[in-house]
Amino acid sequence: MSKICVLGAGSWGTALAILLCNNGHDVTVWSIDPEEVRMLKENREQRDKLPGVMVPSTIEFTTDMETGLIDAELVVCAVPSPFVRSTMKNASAYIQAGTIVVDVAKGIEENTYKTMTEIIEEECPQAKTGILSGPSHAEEVGRKIPTTIVAGSHDKQVAERIQDIFMNDVFRVYTSPDVVGIEIGGSLKNVIALAAGMVDGLGFGDNTKAALMTRGITEIGRLVVAMGGHIETLAGLSGIGDLIVTCTSKHSRNRNAGYLMGQGKTYQQAMDEVKMVVEGVYSAKAALELARKHNVSMPIVEAVNQVLFNGADAREASMQLLLRDRTSESENLEWKA
């Protein structure tokens, strides 16, 4: 049994806390929101974000970060990506040297264009870092629906320790050393999912969405390789696997927000209606800046930015993608004649 602290009591943090508790670990969940902690203590249910999933009585909830983190052998960073830096800055004082910090947020920081593990390494240099990513909606993990995910770390022993702690008969965990590929794949699929939702909101069909997803993973692959990651990762769980579920599922906040934007709402109106942090909105600008920095073509990401921040019409942006100059599908394949 390990002592584990989950930072963040939203849907994903709560679902993972339940999973870890059921795996036999001693789990404490921290939240910055006293009302959220009170609700979880009294009702044993995350009624706002994970209704119908009961929380075991042995899971502790607290607003005191020190209480949650003291002597923790593993820390799960489950706050939304815009709050990872501030949370880990505050947590660092209570995290012991060698403690594993597992990021489960997906995003790229605005202004710095850093990934979540890079932020954790900056704010908690004494910790060992890892990441969990893949097609894994909290609504399904909380109900023990079979799920497969990947644990990434530069340190093989760290990845295997994460694998051991999280894996059970309905939650299968693979390992990978390609942290860059996992993080960029997990972050940018949210941007592509916004576009997929717009396609649905505009009333386009399956053909359109399939094309968007396929070209989307191609764009992500270009950036991953340019940043030192591996294209094989994008054929896996944190690439095409996560992209499929995020672009198509009723649980996807990014797809749902995109749908509302396709119907004419602004991104702020869409986020207000979804009632959860839509991480693709925060990653879109950073993704475009990374594409420019690495001289990578990402027309879908650029179109999403135009709709989000420059007032472009979603239908017109979609049509502009179709009207671009003709080209081949695979740039690296050679003709025999």
pLDDT of residue 251: 86
* Whether the predicted model's global pTM rises above the 0.85 cut: yes
Give pLDDT, residue 326: 75
CA distance 144 to 67: 29
| pLDDT at 320 (0 to 100) | 80
Instruction: Exactly one of 49, 106, 128, 189 is catalytic; name it.
Output: 189
Task: Give 255-259 contacts, CB < 8 A, sequence gap 24+.
Answer: 255/193, 255/194, 255/196, 255/197, 255/200, 256/197, 257/194, 257/197, 257/281, 258/193, 258/194, 258/195, 258/196, 258/197, 258/198, 258/199, 258/200, 258/201, 259/197, 259/198, 259/200, 259/201
Task: Say which DSSP state 29 is in.
Answer: E
**Residues in the chain with pLDDT < 70?**
323
- Which domains, and CATH codes, for the chain? 3-177 (3.40.50.720), 180-322 (1.10.1040.10)
pLDDT for the residue numbered 273: 87
Q: Return the exposure string of 2-37: e unless at least 16 CB atoms fall within 10 Å of the residue's CB, then b.
A: bebbbbbbbbbbbbbbbbbbebebbbbbbbbeeebb
Told to judge if 189 belongs to the known catalytic residues of this protein, a careful annotator would answer: yes
Helix (H) or strand (E) holding 220: helix 206-226
Measured distance CA(213)–CA(70) in Å, rounded: 43
Reported as a single tens digit per residue, the pLDDT across 156-188 is: 999 999 999 999 999 999 999 999 999 999 999
